[in-house]
Amino acid sequence: MYHLSVLLWLPAAFAVLGLLVPSRTTRWVAVVGALLTLALSVVLVLDFEATGPALQHVTDATWISALGVRYELALTGLNMWLALLATVGFAFSIVWAAMTPLGVDRRAKHVFFHLGIAQSAVLGALLAQDLILFVAFFDLMLIPFFFLTAQFGNGDRVPATIKMIVYTLVGSLLMLVAAIAVGVLATPPGAEVSYNIQEIAQRGVPEGSQGWLFACFAAAFLVKMPQFPIHGWLADGYKAMPLPVLAVFSGVLSKVAVYGFLQIAIPLLPQGTADLRWVVLIIAVVSILYASTVALTTFNARMVLAYSSVAQLGFITLGVMSLRPDGAAGALLQSVNHGVAVFGAFLAVAILGHRTGSEDLRDMGGAATKAPVFAVLFVVVTYAVLAMPGTANFVGEFLILRGTWEGSAPALAIVASIGVALAAVYALRLFIRSSHNRVGPVIQPREGARWELALLAVPVLLIIALAVHPQQTVEAADQAATRSVLSAAAAVSPDRARDILADDPSAQAAAEAAQSAAGGTGAAGGAGGAGAAGGADASGAAGAETAIDPATGQPVDQTAQTEGAGR
């Protein structure tokens, strides 16, 4: 049994430690810290019981009692793999930064301090089971990146930073307001305000307010991903950020926004989700098409990856908003896949552009001749980016498209799948223009240094491991995803929730698990008689009246059903 707080605060502790030691050793302190955190998270993931209770390794303490804010952390099927992705990503980024000039910069202490703080914040946002705690960490995780961009960035770093701040600030404030409102509005008269996420789900937010609350959360998350047309910070931000920082920013931080949908917006605001999901779906599908076409026309290698991320996150959003367990689990799997692929892709761009600093595709070419090992590693990464069948990225995309087809609309899946073909074009174009053809006019390709190739091999090996056994990742996500989307699915239509439960035996186990978890707070006592069909009755998901279970004729505890506690 490990205390999650150890995992959470270890990076921050090492960040502070890095400030205290002599500058020359700071980077090694940071590397040790990142690797320790990684090891700890691996242990936690191995320790996770896929069929066990929903929340594992729970830490719960009062934080600000006057405001009802608690310091509650837990490992769930939803956040477990994302937490691992975060520790892998930060370890990757910190090791990488340590090997580059950033690591020996006179301000190197700042680099590793900010990265450490950011890692703690990301882990905090992922593990938090209290809404305010989540929001606090979510905002905190961005701040180190503002400093990193502003201090160590390239080109127009200050305007880029300001742009990022303005955008995320607007999103964050909206989310903060919404978070407070959710907690307050869900509190029944006379009860104390609670921001516990499960507690709020059981209490239910009044349906009338769910629409604007969902809109606020969605705005914050969509800006963070980012999605069209609120991706204004993307181009400048990506261009300005140093690559090791960008890898983790693009690979990990955008996933916290995905997680926000599954952890907060959808389960807490089922009616709002049901009402507004088409707005998000359209944004997602437009993002896929728009960003894919931009990615295949831009000549900046970094921007190809930037827009490809927008497109990939469009797919992930589609999966999340399909409100089906397959789509949501696919989205989680794809989040992990995309993160891993992006680590590799940005490192590859760094190796390609190393000599001259040019990241223009027109300057590149012929790397495969001079750098065969690099080219082999890069081609694997490319296949992952374009989601070739056989990679886990394909599995994720398959699940997402399936979820979209069934949960949203076949037409949407078909339109989105155009993005799959476009992905093949932009990803291969990036590879061919940099590694194939003749040696380019500006950049003399060279084989990566040993450490670069070794580091690049890490995402490649992860891609292969994920490809061979994707089940590993979706297994834990399955039940958690069902729990997350069930009440919103019921809010869209009762049949839909029934389908989810009938379709999938494991969903029922998930519902049971949810019930046992809820049982701890004594709220789900009446749900025992709710059969699979009972879940479908939760059409007025957060309504106050008591539903009757058609199977048993018994009155059914409404709040428990909202949680998806059918058997």
Q: By CB under 8 A, is residue 532 in contact with another protein?
A: no
Rank residues 410 and 555 by Cβ distance to another protein and give the closer one: 410
Q: By CB under 8 A, is residue 465 in contact with another protein?
A: no
Rank residues 6 and 376 by Cβ distance to another protein and give the closer one: 376
CA pair distance 402, 10, nearest whole angstrom: 39
CB atoms within 10 A of CB 532: 17
Please list, in sequence order, all residues whose beta carbon lies within 8 angstroms of the beta carbon of residue 163, skipping any fewer than 6 positions away.
Answer: 232, 233, 236, 237
CB of 70 to another protein, least distance (A): 15
Q: By CB under 8 A, is residue 544 in contact with another protein?
A: no
CA pair distance 289, 279, nearest whole angstrom: 16
Stretch that binds another protein, among 7-15, 356-364, 399-407, 530-538 (CB under 8 A): 399-407
- Tell me which of 28, 63, 147, 212 binds another protein, using CB under 8 A: 147
Rank residues 402 and 446 by Cβ distance to another protein and give the closer one: 402
Alpha carbon 250 to its chain centroid, in Å, reads 10
Residues 495-524 that bind another protein (CB under 8 A): 500, 503-504, 506-507
- Tell me which of 80, 422, 460, 492 binds another protein, using CB under 8 A: 422
CB of 426 to another protein, least distance (A): 9
Helices (H), 322-449: 325-353, 367-370, 372-385, 392-403, 410-435
Residues 94-133 that bind another protein (CB under 8 A): 132
Stretch that binds another protein, among 30-38, 149-157, 251-259, 529-537 (CB under 8 A): 149-157
Tokens describing residue 246: 């960008």
- Tell me which of 394, 459, 536, 537 binds another protein, using CB under 8 A: 394
Stretch that binds another protein, among 25-33, 263-271, 348-356, 475-483 (CB under 8 A): 475-483
Q: What is the largest CA-CA distance in the chain?
A: 77
What is the per-residue DSSP string for 142-157?
Answer: HHHHHHHHHHH--SSH
| Contact of 452 with 351, CB cutoff 8 Å | yes
CA pair distance 248, 291, nearest whole angstrom: 20
CB of 487 to another protein, least distance (A): 16
Q: By CB under 8 A, is residue 63 in contact with another protein?
A: no
Stretch that binds another protein, among 32-40, 111-119, 412-420, 490-498 (CB under 8 A): 412-420
HSE-CB of 343 using CA atoms within 13 angstroms? 32
Q: By CB under 8 A, is residue 230 in contact with another protein?
A: yes
CA pair distance 504, 534, nearest whole angstrom: 15
Helix (H) or strand (E) holding 471: helix 471-492
CA pair distance 553, 549, nearest whole angstrom: 5
Q: By CB under 8 A, is residue 481 in contact with another protein?
A: yes
CA pair distance 562, 514, nearest whole angstrom: 11
Stretch that binds another protein, among 29-37, 199-207, 397-405, 522-530 (CB under 8 A): 397-405
Stretch that binds another protein, among 23-31, 253-261, 417-425, 449-457 (CB under 8 A): 417-425
Tokens describing residue 514: 């949810």
CB of 83 to another protein, least distance (A): 20
Rank residues 146 and 221 by Cβ distance to another protein and give the closer one: 146
Q: By CB under 8 A, is residue 420 in contact with another protein?
A: yes
- Tell me which of 176, 286, 465, 533 binds another protein, using CB under 8 A: 176
| Contact of 312 with 286, CB cutoff 8 Å | no
Phi, psi (deg, nearest 5) at residue 8: -65, -45
Helix (H) or strand (E) holding 443: none
Stretch that binds another protein, among 341-349, 418-426, 455-463, 555-563 (CB under 8 A): 418-426
Tokens describing residue 512: 């049971």
- Eight-state DSSP code of residue 189: T
Rank residues 165 and 262 by Cβ distance to another protein and give the closer one: 165
Q: By CB under 8 A, is residue 366 in contact with another protein?
A: yes
Q: By CB under 8 A, is residue 405 in contact with another protein?
A: yes
Residues 2-61 that bind another protein (CB under 8 A): none
- The SS3 assignment for 205 reads coil
Residues 241-300 that bind another protein (CB under 8 A): 290, 293-294, 296-298
- Tell me which of 72, 139, 359, 563 binds another protein, using CB under 8 A: 139
Q: By CB under 8 A, is residue 193 in contact with another protein?
A: yes
CB atoms within 10 A of CB 22: 8
Q: By CB under 8 A, is residue 151 in contact with another protein?
A: yes
Which of these, 470, 396, 395, 125, lies nearest to 263 by C-alpha position?
Answer: 125
CB of 217 to another protein, least distance (A): 16
Residues 306-345 that bind another protein (CB under 8 A): 324-330
